[in-house]
Chains A and B, each alone.
Chain A
């Protein structure tokens, strides 16, 4: 897959895991696992990118005597997911056109 395209796609995927409720790193990897394997380094990069774009917020929560980072989606993040849904609909139209033309 084209790298830039994959990057944008991963961003939305990660955002989607915290769309309805906050989550933390390992939980997000587990949630994504049935759909896609993602390495820790990749997840870290995506989370950092999303934080810089103000699409999520981080907060540290005490858990079992250590600090765990929880991620919370922002309005920007929700907008990005909406944007993606629109893009997806457009892509689907083109995809169906290709499939129909193939017959």
Chain B
């Protein structure tokens, strides 16, 4: 395709691109003027331009497809603030895949914090119960206490309140572990409030035997785990909720 002006035709792709952009008025004024000068002298390019224009005309003539139905959202659609956390793809419709994956790590971290926090809180609770309420036979009590405490503590820290209030009266009964209970009482009180009276009827029979607790350090560890777990759980929930409110 060698025309009179060899330079113009050397790169057919580039030329077609210039003609196509010129057709849409997207060439810079200087480039457009230069192209027009060339077009005045080159029939081949004029034909090429005409062909591009014809294709564009066909596309412009396509009728708008009939709408199959209305796409209006149901009036019960949750508002953006109240909507539950979505999978990363839906929550970031405007971001490219790469940034979507990068942003996906933060809600993932928040979720991981919630899991770790929840598990730590469970474990802490188990330790406390095992060493104080259920006496010195640690192995036996751990295996029996695990399902009960785990089931109660898993959903939210607030729902483990009844368990915590049950341990409160045990504090007074077991002087050996009283020192270690400074912390759990502190964490139990916001969740458990003042229910020492009625809860005292729930006092497990083995409470008095617990004073010979093998390792006083275990309740402290348990308390620490419980406290740390609750903090992580709370932080994770707040982070997850703030992430979704600031949906970008």
Whether chain B is bound by chain A comes out as no
Binding site for A on B (CB under 8 A): none
Binding site for B on A (CB under 8 A): none
